[in-house]
Amino acid sequence: MLSIKNLHVKLEDEDKQILKGVNLEVEAGKVHAIMGPNGSGKSTLSYVLSGKGGYEVTDGTAKLEGVDLLDMEPEERAAAGLFLAFQYPVEIPGVGNMTFLRTAVNAQRKARGEEEMSASEFLKVVRAKAKDLQIDAEMLKRPVNMGFSGGEKKRNEILQMAMLEPKMCILDETDSGLDVDAMKLVADGVNALRSEGRGFLVITHYQRLLDHIKPDVVHIMSDGRIIKSGGPELALDVEHNGYADIKAEVA
Amino acid sequence: MAEAVQKPNPTEEMIATLEMPSAGWSVAARQNALTRLRATGLPQRRDEYWKYTRPDTLIQPVAEPAAVFENDEAQLFDDVDRLKIVFVDGTFDADASDDLALDGITIDRLEQTDADLHWARDLYGTLEQNGQTPVARPLAALNTAFASDGVLIHVTSTPSKPVSIIYRHASTTSDAILHHFVKVDSGAELTLLENGPAAARLNKVMEIDVADDAAFHHVRAQGRDHERRAATHIFARLGARSLFKSFTVTVNGVMTRNDCIIELTGDDASAHVAGACVGDGAFHHDDTVFVTHDAVNCESRQVFKKVLRNGATGVFQGKILVKAGAQKTDGYQISQSLLLDEDSQFLAKPELEIYADDVACSHGSTSGAIDEEALFYLRARGVSKNEATDLLTLSFLAEAVEEIAQESLRDQINGRLASWLGRRSD
């Protein structure tokens, strides 16, 4: 599904290398988790994959179902099936959440040569999916993420994911700023989307999110590289012993 | 001894080209205005409130020609049930207008000078004159003196539909001076719509007297002709517990100067004035607002948003004056520009002058580019760069558009703004 090979990335405006040769294969139907200390390059990886400006790829490739992602505009990557759940969802005053969702759904459909969703069909679908995430009509009406609590913002991300039905979902520290109940709600939303045709890359600091979204593979990232990969037990290992031991062991 | 060279006097040169009606109920007021105009002279670049806007093309005796903008889009407000009053190049068009009759209001034309005991006799020009201090507004005095026509609307109770003044532009050299007076009686309510480019050059004054417990809603769309010029003034006086709402959208026009002078004279009154403008290229747009609080517990709001691209210029000069004794005043003022490129500029002069000690007044002014974080967020969801930019631009303008009370009118204005955004010159 997602194939990253030898990815090197530096900041565009600074001579600072962030990713120093990332290799990663996420298969359809699988959940991969990336853990790592602050500054290891986890979020950069998610931004580079989704096409945010400010980064320069100096080497390597990233492909989604064999198609080169790095040459595409962000909107083309989205239409190709890539989705990033933001660590800090952006507030957009003046744009209704519903308008935003519908614009996004139809823009992607159009880009894929599919028919746009009618207003009534859209409303039906969005209401059903919002209900599962305990997003009420008021939240749908409000401007995008405006006045939303941390948990509401993250639920709104998952609602977008559910509406857009991407092939490859990247969750960037979706657990940050969530209490236990909110995390469970978000995790349930993600788990409901797990399917054979869909890959997940879950980026997190902490093991606790992975109690709820059970990963198939766990990677440890440090200093711009994946230094260790393993099963779910690797996350528990980090939780108990921290990153220092693993770093020492690899070095 | 050589004779001193007579310097040309732009005020007299302008006056020489104009004609004042010699009879009728408005003559005294017109003469008074002419005297006042001669005392101040037409605006000059050195005048404090003309620093950012060159008055040249607005005061030259002959207007610069302006091409008529052809487009096949539906006219704004076309599907609104309304009473239509049509002016073409400043001349009333009876055939295109509806009968000037509607329950709850009387409508007369300024040009009809025969009715000597007209209700407007004691009012015409008075709010304009009142609005000349502390800042002189010579183009408004010129208007009162020489206006060729206009409508006098007396609202005695709330009519069933809005009154809509449509300004068509047909001649490339037209130079129109129109003056309206609206008097809203106690407890009555009027919605007034205005749209269209009017003329190659338009000088327009609207005086609005809103009595106690009355309400006045104003939604205006200035014409899209690229080369048109306009200097407009609104003078409003608000009675106790009254509501005044005025919203203007400006799309194109090489020169627009909109003055809005509001005086809150009755307790517990509210005045909301807002503008959304989108300008491209040789576009100069100036909003100059002066709100005077002269009563207790009044609220005023100024919300102005400008989107500028390809070298367009936006100006905002906004003042809140709170007189001694105008306690519990709640004044708010915001002016913001969204600069879509580095060639465009926004000049703002917010002012507060407060002589009461128990008031809440705030003002703010910002200039900025498109929010790159928001743009990326939208694009990451599959929205194209252009569409995302448009969505964010509309969202930037939303706070001003939200000032329109009626949702259906808001939708029309948003539609007009979206269509402008869609017309990319690049």
- Residue count of chain B, please give it: 426
Q: What's the average model confidence in pLDDT over A34-39?
A: 90
What is the C-alpha R_g of chain A? 18
Helix boundaries (H) for B224-368: none
Nearest CA in chain B to A99: B391
- Residue B51 β-bridge partners: none
What is the pTM for the complete model shown? 0.86
Separation in Å, CA of B373 to nearest CA in chain A = 7
Q: For each of chain B's 426 residues, which pLDDT tens digit applies?
A: 556 666 779 999 999 999 998 888 999 999 999 999 999 999 998 999 999 999 999 999 999 999 998 877 778 899 899 999 999 999 999 999 999 999 999 999 999 867 666 789 899 999 999 999 999 999 999 999 999 999 999 999 999 999 999 999 999 999 999 999 999 999 999 999 999 999 999 999 999 999 999 999 999 999 889 999 999 999 999 999 999 999 999 988 999 999 999 999 999 999 999 999 999 899 999 999 999 999 999 999 999 999 999 999 999 999 999 999 999 999 999 999 999 999 999 999 999 999 999 999 999 999 999 999 999 999 999 999 999 999 999 999 999 999 999 999 998 998 888 887 877 654
- Residue B233 identity: H
Closest residue by Cα to residue A203 from A1, A5, A49: A49
Which of B 317-376 lie inside 8 A of A, CB atoms? 371-374, 376
- d(CA A3, CA A18) in angstroms, rounded, equals 19
Cis peptide bond upstream of B134, omega within 30: yes
Q: Sign of the CA dihedral A132, A138, A143, A148? A: negative
Q: Coil, strand, or helix at residue B88? A: strand
The predicted-structure confidence for A72-88, as pLDDT tens digits, reads as follows 999 999 999 999 999 99
Note whether A107 contacts B374, CB cutoff 8 Å. Answer: no
Closest residue by Cα to residue B188 from B206, B215, B209: B215
Note whether A107 contacts B372, CB cutoff 8 Å. Answer: no
- Residue B154 β-bridge partners: B106, B183
Separation in Å, CA of A178 to nearest CA in chain B = 21
The answer to whether B379 contacts chain A (CB < 8 Å) is yes
Closest by Cβ to A107, choosing from B372, B376, B382 = B382
| Pairs across A and B, CB distance < 8 A | 77
**Helix/strand number for chain B, H first, E second:** 8, 20
Separation in Å, CA of A208 to nearest CA in chain B = 27
**pLDDT for residue B149:** 96
Question: If one looks up domain A2-250 in CATH, what number appears?
Answer: 3.40.50.300
Note whether B387 contacts A73, CB cutoff 8 Å. Answer: no
Sorted by where each begins, the domain ranges of chain A are: 2-250
Q: Coil, strand, or helix at residue A94? A: strand
- d(CA B264, CA B210) in angstroms, rounded, equals 10
**pLDDT for residue B43:** 96
**pLDDT for residue B424:** 62
Separation in Å, CA of A143 to nearest CA in chain B = 9
Please list every residue in chain B whose beta carbon sits closer than 8 Å to the beta carbon of residue A53.
372, 376
* Per-residue tokens: B350: 């917010």
Q: How many CB atoms lie within 10 A of CB A194?
A: 15
For A224, residues 6+ apart whose C-beta sits below 8 A from its C-beta are A17, A18, A19, A20, A21, A22, A40, A41
Contact predicate A85/A172, CB 8 Å? yes
Nearest CA in chain B to A80: B382
Q: Does the pLDDT at position A34 exceed 60?
A: yes
Closest residue by Cα to residue B197 from B227, B219, B177: B227
**Residue with the larger pLDDT of the pair A92 and B116:** A92
**pLDDT for residue B15:** 96
* Per-residue tokens: B201: 């050059």
Q: Coil, strand, or helix at residue B373? A: helix
Closest by Cβ to A160, choosing from B381, B385, B396 = B381
Separation in Å, CA of B394 to nearest CA in chain A = 7
**pLDDT for residue B426:** 40
Q: At what angle do helices A150-164 and A119-132 cross, to 10 degrees?
A: 130
Note whether B379 contacts A51, CB cutoff 8 Å. Answer: yes
- d(CA A52, CA A73) in angstroms, rounded, equals 9
Separation in Å, CA of A186 to nearest CA in chain B = 19
Please list every residue in chain B whose beta carbon sits closer than 8 Å to the beta carbon of residue A164.
381-382
For A160, residues 6+ apart whose C-beta sits below 8 A from its C-beta are A83, A85, A101, A104, B381
> How, if at all, do strands B255-264 and B163-168 pair?
unpaired
**pLDDT for residue B3:** 61
**pLDDT for residue B376:** 96
- Residue A29 identity: G
Closest by Cβ to B380, choosing from A84, A91, A95 = A84
Note whether A92 contacts B382, CB cutoff 8 Å. Answer: no
The predicted-structure confidence for A134-164, as pLDDT tens digits, reads as follows 888 888 989 999 999 888 999 999 999 999 9
Closest residue by Cα to residue B354 from B315, B328, B317: B328
**pLDDT for residue A241:** 84
Sorted by where each begins, the domain ranges of chain B are: 33-422
**pLDDT for residue B2:** 56
What is the C-alpha R_g of chain B? 21
Note whether A104 contacts B383, CB cutoff 8 Å. Answer: yes
Note whether A86 contacts B377, CB cutoff 8 Å. Answer: yes
